[in-house]
Structure 1
Amino acid sequence: MTPSEIGDLFTHALYLVLAIVMAMIIPSLIVGLVVSTFQAATQINEQTLSFLPRLVVTLLAIIAFGPWAVNAVIDFTKEIYTNIPFIIG
């Protein structure tokens, strides 16, 4: 196995992790921005007001994108196991 093949596997794994994390985090960031804007406009500085909506949106994102994330990781793992003879030899 050449260093470029190892780099390709590593790059593909990092892109997969990045895509999964972005799918879970970006909705929470958007809701956090909206809540922060609301807090700045109304001058309400309550910590739970910003925490609870982000928590709910993050849980909903995990529920919505969870099956896709699991299938993506399973497909990547199957691809690696299928290509073991080509990787080693």
Structure 2
Amino acid sequence: MTPEQVMNIAYQGMRVTLLLGGPLLITALATGLLVSLFQAATQINEMTLSFIPKILAVFAVLVLTGPWLLKLITNYTIELFSNIPAMIT
């Protein structure tokens, strides 16, 4: 296994990780920002107020993007396992 192959596998793994986590993390970040702006505007200082909207927003994005995320990780895993014989030699 050459160093180029190792770097390619690491690159693909990081890319898939970013594509899997990106939509969920961006949604949680945006929702947290909106709730914080709402809290600042209304002067409500309740820490648990941001928790429920974040969970609901992330769940909604997970429902909407779930099939795509599942297809992405499945294709990556199949490709990785099918390339194992080529990596050994």
Q: If the length of structure 1 is used for normalisation, what is the TM-score?
A: 0.90
In the alignment, the residues of structure 2 paired with residue 9 and residue 21 of structure 1 have an alpha-carbon distance, to the nearest angstrom, of 18
What's the CA shift for 1:67? 1.6
In the alignment, the residues of structure 2 paired with residue 80 and residue 27 of structure 1 have an alpha-carbon distance, to the nearest angstrom, of 29
What's the CA shift for 1:2? 0.4
Runs of 4+ in 1 over 2 A off after TM superposition: none
Amino acid at match of 1:6: V
**What is the aligned length?**
89
Output one character per residue of 1:12-69: Cα deviation in whole Å (capped at 9) or x when no partner.
Answer: 0111011111111111111110110111111111223211111100111221222211
Amino acid at match of 2:37: T
- 1:40 to 2:52 alignment: no
Identical-residue share of aligned pairs (%): 37
In the alignment, the residues of structure 1 paired with residue 48 and residue 63 of structure 2 have an alpha-carbon distance, to the nearest angstrom, of 22
What's the CA shift for 1:82? 2.0
Cα RMSD for the two superposed structures = 1.2
Which position in structure 2 is the counterpart of 1:64? 64
Unaligned runs of 5+ in 2: none
In the alignment, the residues of structure 1 paired with residue 81 and residue 46 of structure 2 have an alpha-carbon distance, to the nearest angstrom, of 50
Q: Contact (CA 8 Å) 1:24, 1:65: kept in 2 or not?
A: no
Which position in structure 2 is the counterpart of 1:79? 79
